[in-house]
């Protein structure tokens, strides 16, 4: 959530930067500024009345001590309306603050200066490409056919048990999943992330704090009786560990990694691009989260990008890094890098990770703060990155590593799987 003081003091700059995200509701910006002026005016009036009431109370006390009861009663009578005036101002202030908050959450985060303009994924900027696209043997199959051929993932059985988008992993497919989870967690710990195991359902306050509410309410599964939400990513519970926490500056950077299943309704997703494991309602992911000093957040996002690229290199997968344009970024992000792996059988790039810097957008909702060197309270910066989401990694490994003798397992995973081929 943006800070109203910043909006008020930098109106034109805010409008210009939000335009990069194709947000053009200037009227909302001006309405927010006007509401903030009303809020401050009411607060000033309330403070002034309270000051007058305090002065009157002091005078009454002094007069009573001096035995001047009549004069004290006169002041008491003339000041009797102060309490009601303060009550009315308090009610007005609460109404204005609620309206201000409700409108403030409608604003997306400001994009970083490096974010390219654009309206869709076609306008994203390719930062780098790494590795060579494999040349597959004749008759190579897309992963949804390989799942059937080797009987490692059963999509139809998942439909029977739950519905479309909830696959059942079997045999070597299940072992490959477990191997990758353990590999990604071990790599994260080695890179300085502290592993945590967190709930996979969160309350409304947690979903709001990281920006899933109200922006993505329709994309989350809601447990109505308990008013809880199934998490779309471990970012939500992990970042909320620090909600309403004042951290110490010497704790930075705070780095956590967590494995969780993730749940997304993916409403409106149809077509060939969502076949097989390309898009699921439930999938496994290892997430990395950092809470850092504001001066270090853009170094941190580059470090996180390099770390995730290192995972893809160890998995021997060709990939590219994209800097997302304003029109393809999330509501909450200031800068996002996407990592895409090339699927040789599908002949297209598959997104397997996003790394985002939210600056103070989440921390303002979370109220995660620290005392800076001057002793003043300051909001931290938050970041997160998928390291990695499993379904499309599995799809790419199956498709890119298929040979006539079976599917070759990347060398780094063999100690985890206990087998070098799926055959």
Residue 273 binned pLDDT confidence (cut-offs 50, 70, 90):
low
For residues 62 and 24, give the distance between their C-alpha atoms in angstroms, rounded to a whole number: 59
pLDDT of residue 8: 97
Q: Which residue stretches of 105-246 are H helix?
A: 143-150, 155-161, 171-190, 204-209, 235-240
Indicate whether 270 pLDDT > 80: no
pLDDT of residue 73: 86
The C-alpha torsion from 20 through 24 and 25 to 26, rounded to 10°, is: 90
Q: Do domains 4-104 and 121-422 have the same CATH topology?
A: no
Indicate whether 216 pLDDT > 80: no
* High-pLDDT (> 70) share of the chain, %: 98
Fold of 121-422: BirA Bifunctional Protein; domain 2 (3.30.930)
CATH class of 4-104: mainly alpha
Q: Burial code of 307-337, b = ≥16 C-beta within 10 A, e = fewer?
A: bbbebbeebbbbbbbbbbbbbbbbbbbbbbb
Per DSSP, what are the bridge partners of residue 297?
none
pLDDT of residue 274: 75
Residue 267 binned pLDDT confidence (cut-offs 50, 70, 90):
low
Residue 76 binned pLDDT confidence (cut-offs 50, 70, 90):
confident
Strand 402-403 with 381-389, pairing: unpaired
In degrees, rounded to 5, the angle at the alpha carbon of residue 80 between the alpha carbons of residues 77 and 85 is 155
Name the token pair of 277.
């494991």
Indicate whether 336 pLDDT > 90: yes
- The domain spans of the chain are 4-104, 121-422
- Whether the CB-CB separation of 409 and 332 falls below 8 Å is answered with no
Task: Quick: pLDDT tens for 133-167.
Answer: 888 888 899 999 999 999 999 999 999 999 999 99
Indicate whether 269 pLDDT > 70: no
pLDDT of residue 136: 87
Strand 335-343 with 348-359, pairing: antiparallel
For residues 185 and 193, give the distance between their C-alpha atoms in angstroms, rounded to a whole number: 9
Q: Residue 253: is the preceding peptide bond cis (ω within 30°)?
A: yes
Indicate whether 127 pLDDT > 90: yes
pLDDT of residue 272: 53
Spatial CB neighbours of 145, under 8 Å, sequence gap ≥ 6: none
- Whether the CB-CB separation of 354 and 338 falls below 8 Å is answered with yes
Residue holding tokens 């930075």? 252
Per DSSP, what are the bridge partners of residue 194?
256
Pick the range with the lowest mean pLDDT from 66-75, 197-206, 405-414: 66-75
pLDDT of residue 215: 74
pTM: 0.92
What's the mean pLDDT in 169-183?
98
């Amino acid at each position: 959530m943006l800070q109203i003081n910043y909006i008020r003091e930098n109106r034109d700059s805010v409008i210009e930067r939000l335009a990069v995200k194709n947000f053009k509701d200037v009227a909302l910006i001006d309405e927010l500024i006007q509401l903030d002026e009303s809020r401050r005016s009411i607060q000033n009036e309330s403070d002034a009345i309270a000051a007058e009431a305090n002065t009157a109370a002091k005078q009454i006390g002094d007069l009573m001590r001096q035995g001047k009861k009549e004069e004290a009663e006169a002041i008491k009578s003339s000041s009797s309306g102060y309490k009601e005036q303060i009550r009315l101002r308090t009610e007005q202030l609460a109404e204005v603050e609620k309206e201000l908050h409700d409108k403030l959450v409608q604003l997306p985060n400001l994009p970083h200066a490096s974010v390219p303009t654009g309206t869709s994924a076609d306008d994203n900027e390719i930062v780098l490409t790494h590795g060579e696209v494999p040349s597959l043997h004749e008759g190579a199959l897309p992963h949804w056919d390989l799942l059937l051929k080797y009987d490692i993932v059963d999509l139809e059985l998942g439909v029977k048990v739950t519905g479309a988008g909830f696959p059942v992993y079997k045999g070597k497919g299940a072992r490959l999943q477990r191997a990758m989870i353990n590999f990604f967690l071990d790599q994260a710990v080695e890179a300085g992330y502290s592993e945590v195991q967190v709930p996979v359902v969160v309350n409304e306050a947690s979903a709001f704090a990281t920006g899933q509410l109200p922006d993505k309410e329709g994309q989350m599964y809601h447990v109505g009786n308990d008013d809880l939400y199934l998490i779309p990513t471990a970012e939500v519970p992990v970042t909320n560990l620090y909600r309403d926490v004042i951290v110490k500056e010497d704790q930075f950077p705070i780095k956590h990694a967590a494995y969780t299943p993730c749940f997304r309704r993916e409403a409106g997703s149809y077509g060939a691009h969502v076949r097989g494991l390309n898009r699921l309602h439930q999938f496994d992911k290892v997430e990395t989260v950092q809470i850092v000093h504001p001066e270090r957040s853009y170094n941190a996002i580059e470090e996180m990008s390099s770390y995730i690229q290192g995972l893809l290199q160890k998995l021997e997968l060709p990939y590219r890094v994209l800097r997302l344009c304003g029109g393809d970024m999330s509501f909450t992000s200031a800068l996002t890098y996407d990592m895409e792996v090339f699927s040789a059988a599908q002949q297209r790039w598959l997104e397997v990770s996003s790394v985002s810097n939210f600056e103070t957008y989440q921390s303002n909702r979370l109220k995660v703060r620290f005392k800076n060197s001057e002793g003043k309270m300051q909001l931290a910066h938050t970041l997160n990155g998928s390291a990695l989401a499993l379904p499309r990694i599995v799809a790419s490994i199956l498709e890119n590593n298929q040979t006539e003798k079976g599917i070759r397992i990347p060398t780094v995973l063999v100690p985890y799987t206990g087998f070098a081929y799926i055959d």
